[in-house]
A and B are shown apart, each in its own frame.
Chain A
Amino acid sequence: MQASRMTSVIRWGLWGACGVPGLFLIWHWQTGQLGVVPHEVMLHRTGRYALLFLMATLALGFIQAFISWRPLYAARRPLGVWTFLYACGHAMTWLFLDQGGIWEFALAEMREMLHVKLGIAGLLLMLPLALTSVDIAPRLLGFKLWKKLHLLVWPAAIVVIAHTWVVSRFQSPLVVVLTLVILFLLASRLYAARAQSKAKT
């Protein structure tokens, strides 16, 4: 198969595939299959999906450093944008189902609760990335600036994992592992950047 055709298979395949867990969730929600307190399951699942897609996005960058297979590059955007979409779903579930859409209550939590602040910070850090994920954005911004802007994914990842720590009651081994993976990926990214800048000078 041609590389360019492979690229579009990966791109459009992933755009669709990443939405599947969300569609299942909505289907289970609407057909009453989420147990006695469905909105809580919605809240947890949307949050987990966002976190896992974020991890996948970051991991892809790492894998690309070793496998220079061009079509793989097409996977990053769907993964990244779906991370943002699941994070939005998570926030909307919190606002409209958990907080009942009552702004007074939600604002009080935004002002006073660390995990809510971290969640909003994560969402805000990802917002410019999602907005500049359209084809013309790198050209409009200039590729260098666009690339620099997308380094925001790292502070976003740190904020998101901090949010996860705050909301987990027991130290879940999974959260510890995810944290270590993020730190490892960040370290490898920093190392690569340093090697690159050395090579230039």
Chain B
Amino acid sequence: MPRFSYPIPASSEITPRSDFLNRRQLLTAMGAGLLAYATPGRSQSLPEVVPGPFSTDEALTSFDVATGYCNFFEFGPAKDDPAQHAHALQTDPWSIEIDGLVDRPGPIAMEDLLARFPIEERIYRLRCVEAWSMVIPWNGFALADLLAHVGVKSDARYVRFEAFDDTSIMPRAAQGLLDWPYVEALRLDEAVHPLTILAVGMYGEVMPNQNGAPIRLVVPWKYGFKSIKSIKRISLLAERPMPTWHEKSPREYGFYANVNPTVRHPRWHQATERRLHDGNRIRTEMFNGYEELVADLYAGMDLETHY
């Protein structure tokens, strides 16, 4: 397996030289992309996507598998339920309510987010708690940039995320599964880590509904359920919030939920995982292979207790 190394991209990688020389054209293209995004019945295109840091060079999972095999329990418990039912989610218009310990609370519209933050491609491994994994090219921007934009007050310690809350569009089978709306949370230092992104697309396309349109979290060193989909509210808090799965079964789903091959889940051994695109079973890496980047966040913590 290719070993992950800390990427220090050449400046030509950060901004392609041609784009740098043609900023005006780039801006026009971004504007056009935005317009396409904001138009109902939009064509499936994103604003210009530039290569971002931290990408792996492992083989990508196919778009069909990544969009056909999803855990999005709001739309049902089966893996193909989201692909069948998530079209009911109305993603345009969409805004995220920012509240809690921030300097500038209030709603931010999707258009504003897309206009403000350049969209990067981040090719990350995705490791589900169910011991399967994918490699997905996300398109998004660092959560830290949004948090810097809204201004985090000094007493904030945690970030709480809330998904859309509309049981009327959920299939009946999904309505009683969990306590809706879905809630996830990160410690503030995890949230502002450069690996943590808000994704608005994947594979260069606007985020498909079943993958958490129009905007979702991606935290690649944690089990997939931490990467909450279809975010409607982001709150900065002093106290640790209660995430949905953690509340349902704290023994099975920890608050941290860091990928850890040595800590067992009652149903999933976790030492190994199956790459869904080739069906190979491979060893699971500590922090999903992002150990060098994130281990410092947990220095001195017993990860068997704080799983």
Contacts and interface: CB of A to CB of B under 8 A. Distances in A.
Interface of A: 35-37, 39-40, 97-100, 102, 105, 108-109, 112-115, 166-167, 169-170
B271 A35 contact: no
B271 A108 contact: yes
B15 to A, nearest CB: 36
Chain A interface secondary structure, helix, strand, loop or mixed? helix
Contact of A37 (B269, B276, B281): B276
Interface residues of B, number: 20
A17 to B, nearest CB: 28
Instruction: Tell me if B's interface is mostly helix, strand, loop or mixed.
Output: loop
A37 B267 contact: no
Contacts, number: 50
Contact of B274 (A98, A112, A114, A167): A98
Contacts of A113: 264, 267, 269
Interface in B55-76: 64-65, 68-69
Contacts of B274: 98, 100
Given A37-B276, A170-B77, A99 B281 contact: yes
Given A98-B274, A99-B281, A105-B272, A169 B267 contact: yes
A36 B281 contact: no
Contact of B80 (A35, A115, A166): A35
Interface of B: 64-65, 68-69, 77, 79-80, 132, 177, 264, 266-267, 269, 271-272, 274, 276, 279-281
B276 A36 contact: yes
Report, nearest first, the 10 A-B pairs whose CB atoms are least far apart. A100-B281, A36-B68, A36-B65, A36-B69, A105-B272, A109-B269, A113-B269, A37-B69, A37-B276, A102-B281
Nearest to A38: B279
9 contacts: A35-B68, A35-B80, A37-B276, A99-B281, A108-B272, A109-B269, A112-B269, A115-B267, A169-B267
B64 A36 contact: yes
Contacts of B65: 36-37
Given A35-B79, A37-B276, A109-B269, 19 more contacts: A36-B68, A37-B65, A39-B279, A97-B279, A99-B272, A100-B279, A100-B280, A100-B281, A105-B271, A105-B281, A108-B269, A108-B271, A112-B269, A113-B264, A113-B267, A115-B267, A167-B267, A170-B77, A170-B177
Nearest to A104: B272
A88 B69 CA distance: 27
Nearest to A40: B79
A94 to B, nearest CB: 11
Nearest to A167: B267
Nearest to A114: B266
B253 to A, nearest CB: 11
A33 to B, nearest CB: 13
A76 B100 CA distance: 66
Contacts of B177: 170
A112 B80 CA distance: 30
Contacts of B269: 108-109, 112-113
